[in-house]
């Protein structure tokens, strides 16, 4: 039977990658990874191309991906493939600008950067421009939410003083929408960002426990702080299906679920939901007695009517 959906193709490719992962685990630690290892994603070019939007070249995507693969050497091939397909599904290049693929406890994980979120906002056709920045000590700013648009928020950065010598106070983001309206201003203080990092980032927690301090919150704190403000802004602007899916994908990663399942196109998701409802209904029918069917009237003549017919014949 032909594989017709992206999900089916990924399941097949992941099964192949998993089988190669067994050989990888049995290899000696000092042994060089063979050229035909599961991280050789070129073999899955057709699956990647099928996932990519038409405006993104598969050659450009793979060219940007190849320098990243050595950093994922210790990750399971299946997780690498799923992270790659997920990035392709959103059309975000995993080169560190729009998206990244990180190695976390032998699992490769796709994450969009704040630029990736902004890119999807623009693609929706509902957002005209996005303004996002960090306010540092020494900057001039004024935030009056009750003032009218244009006067409610003002930021004058101190461009002459190095940011290395100043700590960020808060991140902000807002968007101008098609038609001229402006969204509310999303603000995330430094304390809020640290609380979100400590409570919700499993990668940060593991890096702290292992003493490695190599999570994105360790190496790119300012960018993650800004991304938190952008994610908060995503709740304030009109949401496209892609933007909702991106939020679901990152949530899946935080909860330890496969990310690829959150990127299913709406039509496939609707069909799967209908199939689950039908399956539940079928299971329920085994437990509940079937209702009695109505007895069909076969046109039998009532007794009184038969007596009247006999009188007429006499």
Tell me the pLDDT tens digit for each residue of 163-217: 888 999 999 999 999 999 999 999 999 999 999 999 989 889 989 998 988 899 9
Please state at what angle helix 77-90 crosses helix 6-26, rounded to 10 degrees.
150
Q: What residues pair up with 108 in beta bridges, in sequence order?
A: 103
Mean pLDDT of the chain: 80
Of residues 28 and 275, the one with the higher pLDDT is: 275
Are 204 and 217 in contact, with CB atoms under 8 Å apart? yes
Which pLDDT score, from 0 to 100, does residue 295 have? Answer: 52
Distance CA 186, CA 4 (A): 41
Of residues 196 and 273, the one with the higher pLDDT is: 196
Flag whether pLDDT at 261 surpasses 70.
Answer: no
Flag whether pLDDT at 93 surpasses 90.
Answer: yes
Nearest-CA neighbor of 80 among 102, 61, 62? 102
Are 100 and 60 in contact, with CB atoms under 8 Å apart? no
Q: Name the CA dihedral angle for 33, 52, 255, 201, rounded to a multiple of 10 degrees.
A: 80
Are 298 and 306 in contact, with CB atoms under 8 Å apart? no
Instruction: Give domain limits for the chain.
Output: 1-116+240-265, 125-238
CA distances from 123 to 41, 55, 57, 127, 132 (A): 27, 11, 17, 8, 18
Q: Beta strand pairing status for 168-177 and 186-189?
A: antiparallel
- pLDDT range class, residue 23, cuts 50, 70, 90: very low
Give every CB contact of residue 38 below 8 A, 6+ residues apart in sequence.
16, 17, 20, 21, 24, 77, 78, 80, 81
Distance CA 87, CA 250 (A): 11
For the segment 53-90, what is each residue's pLDDT rounded down to a tens digit?
A: 999 999 999 999 999 999 999 999 989 999 999 999 99
Of residues 8 and 49, the one with the higher pLDDT is: 49
Find the mean pLDDT for residues 114-133: 95
For the segment 203-224, what is each residue's pLDDT rounded down to a tens digit?
A: 899 899 989 888 999 999 999 9
End-to-end CA distance of the chain: 74
Give every CB contact of residue 190 below 8 A, 6+ residues apart in sequence.
167, 168, 169, 170, 225
């Amino acid at each position: 039977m032909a594989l017709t959906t992206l999900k089916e193709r990924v399941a097949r490719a992941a099964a192949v990658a998993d089988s190669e992962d067994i050989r990888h685990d049995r290899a000696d630690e000092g042994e060089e990874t063979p050229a035909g290892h599961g991280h050789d994603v070129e073999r899955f070019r057709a699956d990647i191309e099928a996932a990519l939007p038409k405006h993104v070249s598969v050659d450009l995507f793979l060219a940007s991906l190849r320098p990243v693969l050595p950093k994922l050497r210790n990750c399971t091939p299946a997780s690498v493939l799923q992270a790659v397909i997920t990035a392709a599904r959103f059309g975000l290049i995993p080169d560190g600008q729009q998206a990244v693929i990180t190695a976390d406890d032998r699992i490769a994980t796709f994450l969009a950067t704040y630029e990736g979120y902004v890119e999807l906002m623009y693609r929706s056709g509902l957002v005209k421009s996005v303004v996002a920045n960090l306010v540092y000590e020494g900057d001039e700013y004024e935030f009056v939410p009750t003032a009218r648009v244009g006067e409610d928020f003002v930021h004058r950065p101190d461009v002459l003083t190095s940011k290395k010598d100043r700590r960020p106070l808060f991140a902000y983001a807002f968007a101008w929408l098609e038609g001229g309206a402006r969204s509310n201003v999303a603000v995330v203080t430094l304390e809020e960002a640290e609380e979100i990092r400590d409570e919700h980032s499993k990668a940060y927690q593991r890096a702290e426990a292992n003493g490695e301090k190599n999570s994105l919150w360790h190496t790119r704190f300012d960018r993650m702080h800004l991304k938190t403000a952008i994610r908060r802004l995503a709740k304030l602007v009109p949401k496209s299906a892609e933007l909702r899916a991106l939020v679901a994908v990152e949530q899946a990663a935080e909860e330890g679920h496969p990310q690829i399942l959150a990127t299913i196109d709406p039509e496939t998701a609707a069909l799967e939901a209908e199939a689950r409802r039908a399956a539940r209904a079928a299971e329920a029918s085994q437990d509940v007695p079937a209702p009695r069917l109505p007895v069909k009237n076969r046109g039998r003549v009532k007794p009184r009517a038969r007596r009247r017919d006999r009188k007429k014949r006499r």
